[in-house]
Amino acid sequence: MSENRYGRGEWAGAFGDLGTLIPFVVAYVSLLHMDPFGILLAFGLAKIVSGLLYRTPFPIQPMKAIGAAATTQATQNFVVTPGAVYGAGLTTGVLWLVLGVTGLAERIARITPRAVITGIVLGLGLKFMGDGIGMMSQGWWLALPSLILALVLLGNERIPAMFVLLLIGAVAAALEHPSLGSLLAGIQPRLHLPHWQLGTMSLSDFLGGSVLLALPQLPLTLGNALIAITEENNRLFPDRPVSERRVAISTGVMNLVSPLLGGVPMCHGAGGMAGHVRFGARTGGALIILGVLLTLLALFFSDSVVEIMRLFPAAVLGVILFLAGVQLALGACDFGPDKASRFVAVVTTALALWNVGAAFVGGVAVAVLLRRGWIRL
């Protein structure tokens, strides 16, 4: 049994998923005015448990479809409130717990063609790369030299690329915002304790969050945070395999606990694992390190989260996200032995660039039509 490690590589790899974590946390706090304490505490505790449970860099990420819809108010006639986010988390938790306990999650994974999984993983990798480029475009003068330096240092155990990126980001943020240093110097730790959050959730919040936020997320989570992450983990760490049932149950449990603390819907994700691994993580120690840091940040510095996160410029986060996408895409190069499998993989990849949920449904549909002879190549 492989034990968790806490060396230099694990510390560097711990920050490999910041490209997705920080933008969503900032959006929830600044746009929905959610308490950062609950968000950070839920993420911190979930990461610690994930590291202890799986003993691989098994990531904890915000659910992207819910986060995007909530923070952009993309639900048309329904105003998304923190209570609606809590409702979405509870519904998500129940759904995934049922899928895991009943074995439905494993059955769905078993009947999903391998070419669909390959397409989803490759599409996710390319999408991460595209999103990373979009973030890098906010500061090319910083992003390009950072990317080149990170590429040169990848695999260097003495000088981990992540540490250099974080240092570059901090220096650039200080130069771009001269007042940031005095703001950070004035931060004083203040203890926050967990408190009940569901009192702010009305019946309307629960129903709206369930129907408009949680249900549209389901196919996306099925493709990325169940099937793709299981495939990625078992490919990279065959000595520490996971099952779809176990992943579904852990997704359910953490989403039932998160709203109680004031947290947001969370999932596992193949892109997050790619980011952790790309920068040196090989065990669950990386997740525990980041989880402890987030928990301490929540308990003592949650009043100053937005200021602290300004130390990570979008251009540098884009470099991290881009390299995570490269890592993920490299693991999905086997398109299958025949033309039909390659066709399914390519179609699924293209759809995944738009929406992973649509890619899962569309890829399975194309595979079925090919098998029945309704599509001829």
DSSP per-residue string spanning 13-42: HHTTTHHHHHHHHHHHHHHS---HHHHHHH
pLDDT the model gives residue 78: 72
- For the chain (377 residues), the mean pLDDT of every run of 10, in chain order, is 89 93 90 92 97 97 85 67 94 96 91 88 90 94 95 86 93 87 82 80 90 84 88 94 96 96 93 92 97 96 87 92 90 76 93 86 92 86
Domain presence at residue 343: no
Number of domains into which the chain is organized: 1
Distance CA 24, CA 2 (A): 32
pLDDT the model gives residue 167: 93
pLDDT the model gives residue 270: 86
| 3-state DSSP percent of the chain in helix, strand and coil, to 5 | 70, 0, 25
pLDDT the model gives residue 366: 94
User: With a threshold of 0.85, does the pTM exceed it?
Assistant: yes
Query: Is residue 219 a contact partner of residue 360, using CB atoms and an 8 Å limit?
Result: yes
pLDDT the model gives residue 236: 94
Query: Is residue 121 a contact partner of residue 326, using CB atoms and an 8 Å limit?
Result: no
Fill in the amino acid letter for 304. S
pLDDT the model gives residue 300: 95
Domain presence at residue 150: yes
Domain presence at residue 17: yes
Let me know how long the chain is: 377
Domain presence at residue 32: yes
Range of 25's domain?
Answer: 8-113+137-184+197-321
Question: Taking Cα atoms as reference points, which of 131, 147, 120, 154 lies closest to residue 361?
Answer: 120
Domain presence at residue 80: yes
Domain presence at residue 123: no
Domain presence at residue 365: no
Distance CA 374, CA 109 (A): 24
Whole-angstrom CA distances from 72 to 130, 133, 335 are: 20, 21, 36
Domain presence at residue 142: yes
pLDDT the model gives residue 1: 58
